[in-house]
Amino acid sequence: MNAISTSSKAVEVRNVFKNYGEVEALQDLSLDFPRGELTSLLGPSGCGKTTLLKIIAGLLPADSGEVMVNGETVTGPGPDRAFVFQDFALLPWASVIRNVAFGLELRGVGKSEREAIAEKYIADVGLDGFELKFPHQLSGGMRQRVGLARALSVDAQVLLMDEPFSAVDEQTRRKFQEDLLNLVKHENKTFLFVTHSIEEAVYVSDQIALLLPRPSRVSEIIRPSGFRDKGIDSIRRDSEYLDIVDRIWDSLRTYVE
């Protein structure tokens, strides 16, 4: 796992600054995201992690600095990135299949083709048979599966996930985390994952970037090495997992009000 060379960076963030009026959100932030891995942005609320993710997505402009995806500078949203939203951002008036196919619809893919692709990913996320249901008929967990299928179906190399599991219940969340690990293993994609849960970050990440606020900075990059290959069932009992969780909490506790 450690053998991945630093040259294969999917996303590079260079000296990014971002202010909201007087409030300093990001200050001279630089960070690399290795290809094919899952990197978590972890930190207390107000540390600018969602801001950073939206800058990488091209939804927010940085005041200065540069973001590069596959070596190309980001100027706006692009086909190389897909976003998974915290509040799912589903169209309430559209069926599951139209929601999943919506990213392709906006890219001008024909109806039959995009629905065929959508069918596949609906099945992949385990929503077989729900194609014609509407978002309000689904549980929170199922809604986020729709959001995930939508992001997967545009086949972007980089998936940006903004606290994707924070609005679903604890049990659904655990299932999601296991599914996510399988996804990272089998899909050759780079995942950027924002979360405020320490356990979740350590559980799913190849690399954790610990962000601290005021001023917002990357205080530490942690790469769990020992437990990633041991199988998902034993991770939470692994001593390295527990050590990392404790270590992160030690760094963060002073920032919690």
Partner 1 sequence: MRNRTLSLKILSSVLIFGAWEVAGRVPVSFAFPTFLESMAALWTLTIEGTIFTAYVETLKPLVVGVMISAFFGIGLGVWIGLSRKFDWFVSPIFIVMQSAPLAALIPLLIMVYGIGLTSKVFVVCIMAMPVIVLNTSGAVRNTSVSIIEMGKSFLGTRREIIMKIIMPSASPIIFVGLRLGISAGFIGAILSELKITPTGVGDIISYSRSIADYPSMYAAIFSIILLAVLFLNILERVEVMIFKGINKGLVSD
**Do 81 and 160 touch, CB atoms closer than 8 A?**
yes
Shortest gap between Cβ of 92 and partner 1 (angstroms)? 5
Contacts of 257 by beta carbon, 8 Å cutoff, 6+ apart:
none
Length of the chain: 257
Closest alpha carbon to 209 in 41, 18, 82: 41
Among the listed residues 44, 46, 65, 140, the single contact to partner 1 using CB under 8 A? 140
85 near partner 1 (CB under 8 A): yes
Instruction: Name the segment binding partner 1 (CB under 8 A); options: 91-99, 110-118, 176-184, 239-247.
Output: 91-99
Q: At 8, is the secondary structure helix, strand, or coil?
A: coil
Residue from 36, 46, 58, 213 in contact with partner 1 (CB under 8 A): 58
89 binds partner 1 (CB under 8 A): yes
Q: Please report whether residue 9 would count as binding partner 1 according to CB under 8 A.
A: no
Reading the block at residue 85, the tokens are: 């939203």
Q: Does the footprint of partner 1 cover residue 132 (CB under 8 A)? A: no
Alpha helices in 157-214 (DSSP H): 170-186, 198-204
How far apart are CB 191 and partner 1 at their closest, in Å?
A: 15
Per CB under 8 A, does 64 bind partner 1?
no
Alpha-carbon dihedral angle through residues 42, 195, 82, 129, given to the nearest 10 degrees: 160
Q: Does 102 bind partner 1 (CB under 8 A)?
A: yes
Residue 136 in contact with partner 1, rule: CB under 8 A = yes
Q: Is the dihedral of CA 93, 98, 104, 106 positive or negative?
A: negative
Would you tell me which residues interact with partner 1 (CB under 8 A)?
A: 54, 57-59, 76-79, 81-83, 85-93, 102-103, 105-107, 134-138, 140, 143, 150, 154, 160, 167
